Structure 1
Amino acid sequence: MKIMIKMKKHLLILAGTAIIFGCGQEKSKTTGWNYNDPKHGGFEVSTNFAEQNTPPGMVFVEGGSFTMGRVEQDVRYDWNNIPKGVTVSSFYLDETEVRNVDYLEYLFWLERVYGSNYDNGSYPEVYWNALPDTNVWRDKLAFNEPLVEHYLRHPAYHQYPVVGISWEQAVDYCAWRTDRVNERILIDNGYLWEDPDQVDENVFTTESYLMGQYEGRIRRMLPNLKQGVHNYNKKAGRDREAVRIVQERDGILFPAFRLPTEAEWEYAALGLVNNTEEENIDERRLYPWDGDGVRNAANKNKGEIVANFKRGRGDNMGIASKLNDNADIPAPTRTYWPNGFGLYNMAGNVSEWVMDVYRPLVDQTTTDLNPYRGNVYQTWSRDEDRFLIEKDSLGRIIKENVSHANDKNLWKRRNYSNSNNINFLDGDYDSRLSNDWGKDENINEFGETKENIVSGEIVINDNTQVQIRPEKEGYLSNKDRNNQNSFELDKNTLEVYDYGKTSLVTDNSKVYKGGSWNDRAYWMVPGTRRFLDQSLSTATIGFRCAMDRLGPPTSQLKENQRKPVDWERKKGY
């Protein structure tokens, strides 16, 4: 029996060798040394990887160039979406908004692992913090208590988009989904055993697994071909003692789920992929469909409303026997027709969170490839011996903002000089300063500006540059995420405005896109944009997840080949 178990384990390791490294011996085209050969040093290369698979529930969005911003009249005179030509890399996006049933699965897992109170778990606050705010349905002059009580959990609403979710909760859901999808991949491929009893710091997270800090039930390992580990006299994979866990270089695990950037969401919503001829877009779009109307033009469904929105005051769904959009509140996530990329409800139903920090002005000179505002660079936390710090009590690897303490070359980098770049080129003080910090007495060796800065303490010198009065002492490091102020220079009056105190726009203001069931058609134009504090939620905002596309921008997989929108099919499920 023991011989059979050992033989089975040995065969599993050999199978893993064939799957990852292939059967043939490949050589480096630049050095001539063999890949995946312990006698040649054991440099491991995945020679069988063909293309990134499509994540579950997602659609491949082939990237390209488009005009981002206003295509409709700026009737509100916000002037916050000036048209700008940008390029978006290929990526993946959820086919629909995240549904109630999807979020309930998340809540169930959190309750099972961390508990819902201190009698059945160690960290119930994790579960409490993830709960949607169902009270967002309440209106002082409306009877919405049935929605407060039933919309999230009743099976009648399982296929409806989840609402009452803040930006912060949406980000946490994306992180959880990353770990659950990758854990399932490892289980299905035989690398892990299912472990429903894992709790607290012993839960699977992708990062803790890759960093060697996951202590769960390992089923099998991959061969480690590194010289000094693998027996020199044995063929690759024949040394049963030389093993390792799955790594990123094996191409098995998915990259992280996340919220889409504003540029990605707007590009995907327009779905211009069906309106191209050669290298040109032959017809621009106002909405995610052709034309300037909101009704289906196909013969079989002529006149049908193509999205869930509010047609006018007191008209959420039309009249009985002929409901126009057939929804007074959010509709099931596949109720209407998809756009050119196969994405549902990119106009109407619910608005959606995106990653970006909101700023009212769109600078034409900023990056035109994958534009995004909100970068805060982080790195792994390490001890004084450069070893990773032990994971936290929730099983997560600890990170910290990039600083001169953990990046010795930060002072000479040309592309960034600090971790927090939310306010870069936004009239803030730091991005107007010279990098020659040693010549400015108001800046220390870390490029940190003096603390206790308020509008009255900032002056403009003869060259119209922002400066701080020299008598102020101490330094401002901007480490407090919730108490950061951004300053903007008005070149006409040479005054500096502290937007964190004089307006609702702060570093915690996040963009949300698209119209909702309670909005007029104007907000269904993908170029429109609004903002809300990242800790707040409403009954009209949901979200969907995105994922990076690794490798070439085009896909050869059959499932990723585009199909024309069938406007003749019946609306709904």
Structure 2
Amino acid sequence: MKRIPLYSFSFLMIIILFTSCSSKKNGTSDKTGMAYNKKEYGGFQVNNKFKRGPGAGLVEIEGGVFVMSGSAIEAPGQELGNYNQKRETTVSSFYMDETEVSNTNWLEYLDWIRRTYPNDHEYYYDEIPDTLVWRRPLSYNEPYVDNYLRHPAYQDYPVVGVTWEQANRYCAWRTDRVNELLLRDRGYMTSFKDLNGGGRGAAIASSPKPTEPFNTDIYLNGQIDDKGKKAMKDLSPSATQSTNNTRNAPTRNVRLEDGILKQPYRLPTEAEWEYAALGLIGNTQYENINTNKIYPWNGLGLSSAKKKTRGMILANFKRTKGDYMGVGGALNDKGGITAPVRSYTPNDFGLYNMAGNVNEWVADVYRPTTFEAVDPLNPYRGNFYQDKKTMDPITGKIAKDKYGKPVLLPAVNAKKQTWAERQAGIPAGSGAAPAPAAATDSAAKATPAVAISNTYADQRGYRDRENGLYGETTLVNNKSRVYKGGSWNDQAIWLNPAARRFLQQDESSADIGFRCAMTMLGASEISTAGKREFKVKPQKKFSSSKF
């Protein structure tokens, strides 16, 4: 028997392994038999290696069912509206900031505006927090007015004086910066080093700086042509090389289907915030909640029961109307005003200061009886549906404002338009006459043929008997936003996760800050380790030679 040389056998195994890995990497449709990620089959690309993960600063929150307002405290002074109506609710898994947004985080935002728009003083001014929130007629707080935001002594303290509207704009800005960094660092776009120079090197002349800031939606729509050294290959047989391409093969922008870009940062909903603050996951085993909570920590007390920290206050709040931090020489919560965002012990989800320090904005519009009406899955009041303004309905290009962001319009469609309705610029199912056939110019087609009335966009008043009574029987309106958590300026009753208050979305306070959240896509279960699972058979391999 002739023996196969060892090196030949090794080479053969490498070939088999490579072929196997290549087949697994590319994948094959179980419905058509066509191979994915191959030019000869049309170049349909599928990411078979997608692994989800949180964006910068976020931690994973595995969702589930809980009783909204189930932790409410019955105490004197609490009135209808200070708590939600108790209701069984399910929250989908999501991501949430480990800490509140700090002064340094906000100054980074301001610095970006100053560098990017050096002559747009209005933009910069509009995003400066209102430091006058510290002023009180009978208090000497002027040092905080001048120093709290910018002095390094407070750099890790939570930003305050920001409105709900400013917090939302920060979330949008953060989304674009995180996604741009991801694309440039991985080589899908020109790196920051090549654009700006880094270390001892200078910027590369062949990499012109973009004329507009990066925007995730504009990029995904193909309106930013910037291909880096490791840009995605375009496997379409008809693909041509981009004018900004440094590689020989045709390349393309990253798409949503690639699973590379992160979802938008946003404010958490009220249900998400309360669920995350309560942190019952640490007290749960096989769906049984062993011990309920009235604070983000276990027990009925406000101080630590652990041996090494026994007696230490677990959050930053005021114990009585005049006691903000305790007696000199033995301060209890150690914070006269706010405290650094990584103070005290995190809850069972790993979140810091979900009680005390500063109250936090959430996304919802306030109503005292919200949770009598909302859906049991991901409840939320405040939907305002918007569409990106189409600049050219044929190419699908969207209009941009002076900051390179999509122009948003109130939504008018409760369902997908037909192609004819889209070209004519009329709402879906409106029955309006389409534009004349002779109108072939893209700009003309983008102009609505009929006057559009917004009958669909704003759902904030849905099933709402109080809407429209602002100034007559209530001070609540569609710009009243919920904030939760209690603060350095609140007594312990407001530390309960179920407690809620409201403020107008364009107002701010010295005791309100915020943290961001992000939607988690895919399976609700975060980790399957050590858990029982159903066995799933692998997909059968398709072979066209059998037919």
What TM-score do you get using the length of structure 1 for normalisation?
0.75
When structure 1 is superposed on structure 2, of 375-384 and 292-301 the one drifting more is 375-384
Aligned residue number for residue 235 of structure 1: none
Deviation (angstroms), 1:180: 0.7
Q: State whether structure 2 residue 265 is matched by structure 1 residue 247.
A: no
Cα 1:137–1:549 change in 2 (3 A) is: same
Aligned residue number for residue 128 of structure 1: 125
Q: State whether structure 2 residue 199 is matched by structure 1 residue 161.
A: no
Deviation (angstroms), 1:277: 2.5
CA RMSD of aligned residues (A): 2.6
Cα 1:60–1:23 change in 2 (3 A) is: same
Equivalences for residues 489-508 of structure 1 within 5 A = 498-499=469-470, 501-508=472-479
Q: Distance in 2 between matches of 1:173 and 1:207?
A: 16
| Residue number among 358, 374, 384 corresponding to 2:382 in the alignment | 374
Q: State whether structure 2 residue 134 is matched by structure 1 residue 137.
A: yes
Aligned residue number for residue 529 of structure 1: 500
Q: Distance in 2 between matches of 1:143 and 1:402?
A: 48
Deviations 1:271-316 (A, max 9, x none): 0001112212121110001111101011111111000000002110
Aligned residue number for residue 408 of structure 2: 399
Aligned residue number for residue 229 of structure 1: 239
| Residue number among 222, 240, 243 corresponding to 1:212 in the alignment | 222
Deviations 1:99-141 (A, max 9, x none): 11111111100111112xxxxx2x2211111100011000100
Q: Which runs of 5+ in 1 are unaligned?
A: 1-17, 116-120, 232-238, 429-485, 488-497, 559-573
When structure 1 is superposed on structure 2, of 124-133 and 68-77 the one drifting more is 68-77
Cα 1:501–1:113 change in 2 (3 A) is: farther
| Residue number among 454, 464, 477 corresponding to 1:426 in the alignment | 464
Partners of 1:35 and 1:42 within 8 A in 2: yes
Deviation (angstroms), 1:22: 8.4
Please tell me the residue identity of whatever aligns with 1:390: A
Q: Distance in 1 between matches of 2:403 and 2:374?
A: 38
Cα 1:384–1:52 change in 2 (3 A) is: closer
Deviations 1:317-337 (A, max 9, x none): 000111110110000111100
Q: Distance in 2 between matches of 1:240 and 1:324?
A: 65
Q: Distance in 1 between matches of 2:277 and 2:67?
A: 13
Deviation (angstroms), 1:251: 1.2
Deviations 1:357-380 (A, max 9, x none): 111113434200100011111122
Q: State whether structure 2 residue 516 is matched by structure 1 residue 545.
A: yes
Partners of 2:26 and 2:48 within 8 A in 1: no
Equivalences for residues 510-529 of structure 1 within 5 A = 510-529=481-500
Aligned residue number for residue 397 of structure 2: 388
| Residue number among 279, 302, 324 corresponding to 2:287 in the alignment | 279
Equivalences for residues 286-305 of structure 1 within 5 A = 286-305=294-313
Q: Distance in 2 between matches of 1:323 and 1:385?
A: 64
Please tell me the residue identity of whatever aligns with 2:183: L
Q: State whether structure 2 residue 61 is matched by structure 1 residue 61.
A: yes
Q: Which runs of 5+ in 2 are unaligned?
A: 1-18, 197-202, 242-246, 414-420, 432-453, 530-547
Deviation (angstroms), 1:411: 6.1
What TM-score do you get using the length of structure 2 for normalisation?
0.79
Partners of 2:84 and 2:371 within 8 A in 1: no
Partners of 1:36 and 1:44 within 8 A in 2: yes
**SS across alignment from 1:173:** helix
Aligned identity (percent) is: 46
Aligned residue number for residue 38 of structure 1: 39
Partners of 1:295 and 1:305 within 8 A in 2: yes
Partners of 2:295 and 2:355 within 8 A in 1: yes
Please tell me the residue identity of whatever aligns with 1:36: N
Partners of 2:227 and 2:253 within 8 A in 1: no
Deviations 1:207-233 (A, max 9, x none): 1211122256755521112243279xx
Deviation (angstroms), 1:23: 7.1
Q: Distance in 2 between matches of 1:248 and 1:409?
A: 26
**SS across alignment from 2:387:** strand
When structure 1 is superposed on structure 2, of 355-364 and 403-412 the one drifting more is 403-412
Q: Distance in 1 between matches of 2:224 and 2:49?
A: 27
Cα 1:410–1:175 change in 2 (3 A) is: farther
Partners of 1:403 and 1:410 within 8 A in 2: no
Partners of 2:389 and 2:407 within 8 A in 1: yes
| Residue number among 331, 338, 341 corresponding to 1:330 in the alignment | 338
Partners of 2:374 and 2:380 within 8 A in 1: no
| Residue number among 409, 413, 432 corresponding to 2:428 in the alignment | 409
Q: Distance in 1 between matches of 2:426 and 2:23?
A: 38
Q: State whether structure 2 residue 26 is matched by structure 1 residue 28.
A: no
Please tell me the residue identity of whatever aligns with 2:78: R
Cα 1:340–1:145 change in 2 (3 A) is: same
**SS across alignment from 1:36:** coil
Aligned residue number for residue 114 of structure 1: 117
Q: Distance in 1 between matches of 2:170 and 2:306?
A: 38
Cα 1:369–1:27 change in 2 (3 A) is: same
